[in-house]
Amino acid sequence: MNYKLSGRIRIVCLFITIILCIYATLTQKSWLTVAAIVIYAVATLQYAIFHRCPRCGEGFRYLTNGGYCPRCGEKLE
Ligand SMILES: [Zn+2]
């Protein structure tokens, strides 16, 4: 898995988490809150593992330094 796909999965999972939390609040179903927390945890974990520079393996966190890796200078698409 490359870092772009990882970032997209994280954003999609964040939306799912928000929707599940709203739905759980409206319907008073506490297991939906647990499901939302699990989805968020999985999204965060895969992001920490896969959202990295393909060349040097540096984790990007939230910055990619204007399209370049902040560590090795690899150009990122
Ligand atoms: Zn790099």
- Give the pLDDT of residue 24: 96
Q: How far is CA 75 from the centre of its chain?
A: 21
Residue 59 binned pLDDT confidence (cut-offs 50, 70, 90): confident
Who contacts 58 (Cβ-Cβ below 8 Å, separation ≥6)? 52, 69, 70, 71, 72
Closest CA to 6 of 49, 35, 68: 49
CA of 51 to the centre of ligand 1 (A): 11
Provide the number of structural domains found in the chain. Answer: 1
pLDDT (tens digit per residue) in 20-35: 999 999 999 999 999 9
CA of 31 to the centre of ligand 1 (A): 40
Q: Helix or strand or coil: residue 41?
A: helix
CA of 64 to the centre of ligand 1 (A): 10
- Give the pLDDT of residue 65: 60
CA of 60 to the centre of ligand 1 (A): 9
Cβ(4)–Cβ(52) below 8 Å: no
pLDDT (tens digit per residue) in 6-19: 989 999 999 999 99
The domain containing residue 50 runs over which residues?
A: 1-77
* Model confidence, pTM: 0.80
DSSP 9: H
